[in-house]
Chains A and B, each alone.
Chain A
Amino acid sequence: MMARGLGGFVLAFAALAALAVWREDLGLPIFYLVLASTALFWIAQATSWNVLSGYSGYFSFGQGAFVGVGAYTTAVLGGRHGVDFYLTVPVAAVFSALLALLVGGLAFRLRSFRGEIFALLTLAVPFILAALARVNSEIDGGQGVVVPVAEYPEWLAQFQDFLYLLNLVVAVAAVAAAFAIQHTRFGWALASIRDAEDVAEGLGVATFRYKMLAIAVTGLIGGAAGSLFALQIGFVTVESVFGLTIPLFVIVMSVLGGRAHWLGPVLGAVVIVLIQDRLSASGFEGWNLIVLGAILAVLVVVAPDGLQARLWRRPWQAAVALVAVTGVLAIVDGWGGPLDWFVAGVLAAVAVVLWPGKAPAPAERRPAPSAAVPVPTDVDRGEAAESSGHSGPQLRPNSTIDGEVGEVLVECRDVTRYFGGVRALDGVSLQIRAGELVGLVGPNGSGKTTLVNLLSGALRPTSGSIAVAGRDIVGLAPHRIAHVGVSRTHQIPKPFESMTVRDNVAMAIMFGRSARPLAAAREEAQACLDVVHLRHLADAKPAEINLHERQLLEMARAIATKPKVLLLDEALAGLNPAEIDAAVAVVRRIHATGITIVIVEHLLRVVNQLATRVVVLNQGALLADGDPRTVMNDPDVIRAYLGRHAHARGT
C-alpha cells in the first residue's frame, strides 16, 4: 500500500517534471507552468499546515512565520551575504523547523491545552518575528532584500521552468510526506490526538512527541516552500511575508479540500488557485473578491468535511464530468482557451461531487437489525447469563475470586490533591492487590474521579506518592503510566470518532507496551472485541453505535493495552437495567482474565455484586475499606453516603 502509493508519487513527479523539461516540444504556453507553480506553492503550504493542524487538530494561524523565516533566510543569505541559493533552501527549512520546535516546545508543554490557545500562540509568532526583523534592520538592510536570480541548469529553457521544477520538488515531497504520515503509526497517533487527545495519551500514545514531530514537519515544509516564495516574488520585505494572507489562505484551502486526508489540501489549493486566476483574468473588476468570498462560503456550507470526502464517494462521476466538460469545450472551441476549458471541467467536477444526493448510507456497515432496535442488548443478556453461570451463582458472586488475591499492585501513600484552595483528596493511603476487584464509592464530590485521574496520570498529586507494580508513577506522562500497566475508561465515552470500532481498539494495541504494526493490531483487536461482545460492530463508526456499546468499546480499548490494573470510571452510567447486567458480565469476564479492576460506581447493587472489596471516600478522605458487606453496614458509611444517596440512584 505504502510502497505503491509512494511509487505513484514518483510517477506523478516524473510526469509533471517532463512538462517543464520538454515544454517547448509540447507547445505548452509558459504561463501554464507559472500558474502551476503558484498552485504548487500553495499545495506545499497547505500540506505543511495540514500535517499539524489538519491531522492533529491544532489550528495554527502562524503559517506566515514559517513562510517568512524561509523567505527571509533565502533572501538575506543569498541577497546580502552571497550564499548559493541551493544551500539556502535546506538552511531555510531547518531554521523554520527549529522555530516550529520552539513554538511546539512552548505550547505543547501545557497539558489539557485548548485549541484556541494554540491558535493565538501561533498568531502571535509572525507579529513577533516581524517586529524583530524591523528592529534589527541589519537583517534586511531596512528596505527589504532583492533576491538574486539563482543559476539554473542549461537544459531548462527559462527561469519559470526552473521555478516550476523547484516548486514541484517541494510540493511532491510535501504531499508524499503527508501521505506517508497518514498511512503510518505517526498518522494514527495524530488522528487519535485530533479525536480525543487525553484518551490517546492514556492509551499509551506519546502525544507530546508526535505533536513535536508534526510541527517540525510543518516547519520544514513551510520553510522550504517559503524559500521558493522568496525566489518567486524577487523582493522580500517584512510586509510581504509576515502578513495574514498566507495563514488565512492555507486554512481556507485545507479545510475546503478536507483536512483529515493528505489529498485535501491539494484539492483545496488547486481549486482556489484556479478560481482566483480565472477571476483576476475575467476583468470582473470590483467583484473578484465578492465572487471568491461567495464561492468559499457556499462550498464550506455544502461540504463542511471538505471536497476530498465527497470526491471519494463519486470519483468516477467527477472524472467523467471533468473530462466531458473539458473535452466538449475543446471540441466546440467556441469560447476561451484551454485553461478556461480545464477550469470549467474542474468546476463541473466540483459541482458533481457536491451535488446533494443519496450518499451511501453509513448504516450499510452494520447488520440490519441491530441498527434499528437495541437487539444486541438481548444478545448480550443471554451471553451474560451464560457467562455468569460460569463464574458462579448470582447470589454469591464474590466467593470464587476471594482467595486469589496476590501481591500489592497499587500503593497510594498519603495522596493529597488541591484544586486552588479546595481539597479534592486529603491524605489518602490505599493498597490494591493483584486480582482484586475494588469498588470505589462515595457521595458526589468525594474525590473518586480525582483518585482515578491521579492513578492514570491525568492529574498529578499535590503531595504523596503513588506506585504501580513497584514503580513510582508520580510525574510520569500518562502514556508512560499506561505502559507501566494502568488503563482506564471514561464516564462519558470518548471514542476516536474518525476510526472504526475495530481501529479504536487497534490503536490501543499499536501504541501499547510493545508496539505492534497496524495489521497485527487489527488482528488482535478482534479478541478484545470478543471479550466485550462487540465483534459484530467492528466496522461501524462510533457515531453509529449506542451509549451501551460505546461504554463497551471503552472497556475493549482499555483492556487492549494489556493493563495490570483497569480503572472503570462510572462505566455503567446512563444504561438501562438489561444493559447493566450485560456490562456487569463483561466486567467479570475481564476480571477473570486476571486484570485487577477498580470500579467507580454509584450503583451499590452492582458494587455489591461485583466487588471483592469496597473503598468508601468521603470529602476527600478514606472513610471505610473492606469486605463489601461489612463496609455497607458501617454506620459512618450509612450516614455519609447511604443516608443521602441510597435512594437516589446516584445521579
Chain B
Amino acid sequence: MTTLQAALSGALVGGMFAVMAAGLSLTWGMLRVINLAHFGLILVGAYLTFELATSWGIDPILTIVLTVPLMFLVGAGLQWAFDRLGVEEFASLLVSFGLLIIVMQTVSNVWSADFQRMDGDVNPYATESVSIGRFVFPAPTLIAFVFAVVIVVAADQVLRRTFAGRALRAFAEDRTVASAFGIDHRRLGMVLAGLSAASAAVAGMLFALGNAVTPSTPFEWIGMVFAVVILGGIGQVGGVLLAGVLVGTLSAVVSATWSPALSPLVLFSAIILALLFRPYGLLTPAARGAR
C-alpha cells in the first residue's frame, strides 16, 4: 500500500521533471543548443509566479498567463542571438552556463538569497490533495503531471502533424537539405526556442507551487533533468515524459520500501544500466539507433 502510494506520487513528481526537461530536450535535439540557461528561465519563472501571486494576489497557476508570453519572447530572443553569433553545440553549453550564473546572481539581487515560498494564503495548492479510494494525489505534483501530459502531447502532435513540426524534424536530421527545401530555419528555431522557454515558465510555476526557491536551486535540478532528457532520447518529447515518470517512480519506491538515502544510489545506477542497454533513449531500440 505504502509502496503503491509512493509509486503514484513519485510518478507525479516525475511529471514535473518532464516539464522541466521537455524544452531542454527539444532545443538540444532540434537546434543543437545545449541550453543550460533553460534552468535559469525555470528559476525566473518560479520567482515571477511567486512575485505575481504574492504581491498582486493572482492565483499562482494563472500567473502563467503573464509569464508564458514573456518567457516566449526571452527564449526567442536568446535563440536569435545564438543563431546570429553562430554559437555551436559545445559553445552553446558554455555561453548558456555564463547566462545561467548571470540569471542566478540577478535573481539573488532582486529577491535576496533567502528562501522565497508562497504563503498558504496566496497558494492554496501546496498542502492540498485529491483522494481517490485509498490513494492520495498531492495537488502540486498532480497539477504538474497534468501539465506534463498536455505539453508533451501537444508538442508531439505539433511535431508530427504540422508543416512547421515536420520542417523542424527535417531540419534536425539534415540542415542543408532542409534549407534547400526553403525551410526558414531561423524563424522556426526562434519559435521553437520561444516555446521551450514558455515551457520553462510553466515548469517554474509548477515548482513554486510546491517548493521554496533560492537563487541556487537550479543546481539541484541539473542532474535529474539531464538524466531525464538523455534517458528519454534527446529531442523526443514522448520519451521525456516516460523517463520522468520512470525516474520519479523508481526513486519513490526505493525511498518508501528501502530508504530515501538509497534512492539516489539506486536511481543513478539504474540510469547507467539503462544507458548501457538503451543508449539512444528508452523509446529507441539500440539496433535502430545504431543504423
Q: Which residues of A contact B (CB under 8 A)?
A: 59, 61, 106, 109-114, 116-117, 119-121, 123-125, 127-128, 130-132, 134-135, 243-244, 248, 251-252, 255-256, 286-290, 292-297, 300-301, 304, 419-420
Distance in angstroms between the alpha carbons of A123 and B265 in the assembled complex: 13
Contact residue among A61, A113, A294, A304 (Cβ-Cβ distance under 8 Å from B98): A294
Q: Does B66 contact A (CB under 8 A)?
A: no
Contact residue among A109, A131, A244, A255 (Cβ-Cβ distance under 8 Å from B90): A255
- Can you sample 9 A-B contacts with CB below 8 Å? A59-B90, A123-B227, A128-B269, A131-B268, A286-B108, A289-B102, A300-B94, A301-B85, A304-B90
A110 touches B276 (CB 8 A): yes
Query: With A117-B230, A289-B104 given, is the CB distance from A300 to B268 under 8 Å?
Result: no
Write out the residue numbers on chain B whose beta carbons fall within 8 Å of the beta carbon of A123.
223, 226-227
A453 closest partner in B (C-beta): B291
CB distance from A287 to the nearest CB of B (A): 7
Closest 5 CB pairs of A and B: A297-B98, A296-B98, A293-B102, A289-B105, A131-B265
Q: A120-B271, A252-B97 are in contact. List 6 more A-B contacts (CB 8 A).
A: A111-B290, A114-B280, A120-B275, A127-B223, A300-B94, A304-B86
A124 touches B271 (CB 8 A): yes
A116 touches B223 (CB 8 A): no
CB distance from B224 to the nearest CB of A (A): 9
Contact residue among B102, B222, B285 (Cβ-Cβ distance under 8 Å from A294): B102
Distance in angstroms between the alpha carbons of A288 and B108 in the assembled complex: 12
- Give how many A-B residue pairs fall within 8 Å (CB-CB): 124
A106 touches B265 (CB 8 A): no
Write out the residue numbers on chain B whose beta carbons fall within 8 Å of the beta carbon of A128.
264-265, 268-269, 272
Distance in angstroms between the alpha carbons of A106 and B272 in the assembled complex: 9
Distance in angstroms between the alpha carbons of A59 and B92 in the assembled complex: 14
A459 closest partner in B (C-beta): B290
Query: With A106-B276, A248-B97, A420-B287 given, is the CB distance from A135 to B219 under 8 Å?
Result: no
Write out the residue numbers on chain B whose beta carbons fall within 8 Å of the beta carbon of A289.
101-102, 104-105
CB distance from B255 to the nearest CB of A (A): 12
Distance in angstroms between the alpha carbons of A114 and B286 in the assembled complex: 12
Write out the residue numbers on chain B whose beta carbons fall within 8 Å of the beta carbon of A131.
261-262, 264-265, 268
Query: With A127-B268, A304-B87, A420-B287 given, is the CB distance from A252 to B227 under 8 Å?
Result: no
Interface size on B, residues (CB 8 A): 45
CB distance from B193 to the nearest CB of A (A): 16
Query: With A290-B102, A420-B285 given, is the CB distance from A110 to B279 under 8 Å?
Result: yes
Write out the residue numbers on chain B whose beta carbons fall within 8 Å of the beta carbon of A286.
105, 108-109
B279 touches A135 (CB 8 A): no
B94 touches A255 (CB 8 A): yes
Q: Does B106 contact A (CB under 8 A)?
A: yes
B275 touches A301 (CB 8 A): no
Q: Does B100 contact A (CB under 8 A)?
A: yes
Write out the residue numbers on chain A whose beta carbons fall within 8 Å of the beta carbon of B279.
110, 113-114, 117
Contact residue among B93, B226, B264 (Cβ-Cβ distance under 8 Å from A120): B226
B262 touches A135 (CB 8 A): yes
Write out the residue numbers on chain B whose beta carbons fall within 8 Å of the beta carbon of A248.
97
Write out the residue numbers on chain A whose beta carbons fall within 8 Å of the beta carbon of B276.
106, 109-110
Write out the residue numbers on chain B whose beta carbons fall within 8 Å of the beta carbon of A251.
93-94
Write out the residue numbers on chain B whose beta carbons fall within 8 Å of the beta carbon of A294.
98, 102
B219 touches A243 (CB 8 A): yes
Distance in angstroms between the alpha carbons of A294 and B85 in the assembled complex: 15
CB distance from A323 to the nearest CB of B (A): 30
Write out the residue numbers on chain A whose beta carbons fall within 8 Å of the beta carbon of B109.
286
Query: With A293-B102, A301-B91 given, is the CB distance from A127 to B264 under 8 Å?
Result: yes
Query: With A252-B97, A420-B288 given, is the CB distance from A301 to B90 under 8 Å?
Result: no
Q: Does B70 contact A (CB under 8 A)?
A: no
A293 touches B105 (CB 8 A): yes
Contact residue among A112, A120, A255 (Cβ-Cβ distance under 8 Å from B227): A120
Q: Does B95 contact A (CB under 8 A)?
A: yes
B91 touches A130 (CB 8 A): no
Query: With A114-B279, A124-B271, A300-B95 given, is the CB distance from A292 to B101 under 8 Å?
Result: yes
Distance in angstroms between the alpha carbons of A248 and B261 in the assembled complex: 25
Q: Does B99 contact A (CB under 8 A)?
A: yes
Query: With A112-B290, A248-B97, A290-B102 given, is the CB distance from A124 to B219 under 8 Å?
Result: no
Contact residue among B94, B264, B288, B291 (Cβ-Cβ distance under 8 Å from A252): B94
A458 closest partner in B (C-beta): B290
B277 closest partner in A (C-beta): A110
CB distance from B86 to the nearest CB of A (A): 8
Q: Does B88 contact A (CB under 8 A)?
A: yes
B40 closest partner in A (C-beta): A293
Write out the residue numbers on chain A whose beta carbons fall within 8 Å of the beta carbon of B7.
none
CB distance from A292 to the nearest CB of B (A): 7
Query: With A110-B276, A131-B264, A300-B91 given, is the CB distance from A116 to B105 under 8 Å?
Result: no
Write out the residue numbers on chain A whose beta carbons fall within 8 Å of the beta carbon of B94.
251-252, 255-256, 296-297, 300
A117 touches B91 (CB 8 A): no
Q: Does B76 contact A (CB under 8 A)?
A: no
Write out the residue numbers on chain B whose beta carbons fall within 8 Å of the beta carbon of A110.
276, 279
CB distance from B155 to the nearest CB of A (A): 20
Write out the residue numbers on chain A whose beta carbons fall within 8 Å of the beta carbon of B97.
248, 252, 293, 296
Interface residues of B in 251-266 (CB under 8 A from A): 261-262, 264-265
Distance in angstroms between the alpha carbons of A479 and B99 in the assembled complex: 43
B87 closest partner in A (C-beta): A301
Distance in angstroms between the alpha carbons of A243 and B280 in the assembled complex: 27
Distance in angstroms between the alpha carbons of A313 and B226 in the assembled complex: 38
Contact residue among B88, B108, B234 (Cβ-Cβ distance under 8 Å from A116): B234
**A interface footprint on B45-86 (CB within 8 Å = 1, 0 otherwise):** 000000000000000000000000000000000000000011
CB distance from A219 to the nearest CB of B (A): 17
Distance in angstroms between the alpha carbons of A130 and B261 in the assembled complex: 10
Question: In the complex, which of the residues A116, A248, A252 has the most CB atoms of chain B within 10 Å of its own CB atom?
Answer: A116
A109 closest partner in B (C-beta): B276
B102 closest partner in A (C-beta): A293
A297 touches B95 (CB 8 A): yes
Distance in angstroms between the alpha carbons of A301 and B104 in the assembled complex: 21
Distance in angstroms between the alpha carbons of A61 and B100 in the assembled complex: 17
A304 closest partner in B (C-beta): B91
CB distance from B177 to the nearest CB of A (A): 13
A114 closest partner in B (C-beta): B279
B100 touches A293 (CB 8 A): yes
Contact residue among A109, A124, A130 (Cβ-Cβ distance under 8 Å from B272): A124
A249 closest partner in B (C-beta): B97
A244 closest partner in B (C-beta): B219
CB distance from A396 to the nearest CB of B (A): 40
Contact residue among A135, A288, A296 (Cβ-Cβ distance under 8 Å from B105): A288
Contact residue among B99, B105, B275 (Cβ-Cβ distance under 8 Å from A287): B105
Write out the residue numbers on chain A whose beta carbons fall within 8 Å of the beta carbon of B231.
120
Write out the residue numbers on chain B whose beta carbons fall within 8 Å of the beta carbon of A120.
226-227, 230-231, 271, 275
Question: In the complex, which of the residues B98, B262, B287, B290 has the most CB atoms of chain A within 10 Å of its own CB atom?
Answer: B98
Write out the residue numbers on chain A whose beta carbons fall within 8 Å of the beta carbon of B93.
251
Question: In the complex, which of the residues A127, A290, A300 has the most CB atoms of chain B within 10 Å of its own CB atom?
Answer: A300
Write out the residue numbers on chain B whose beta carbons fall within 8 Å of the beta carbon of A295.
98
CB distance from B26 to the nearest CB of A (A): 15
Distance in angstroms between the alpha carbons of A121 and B226 in the assembled complex: 11
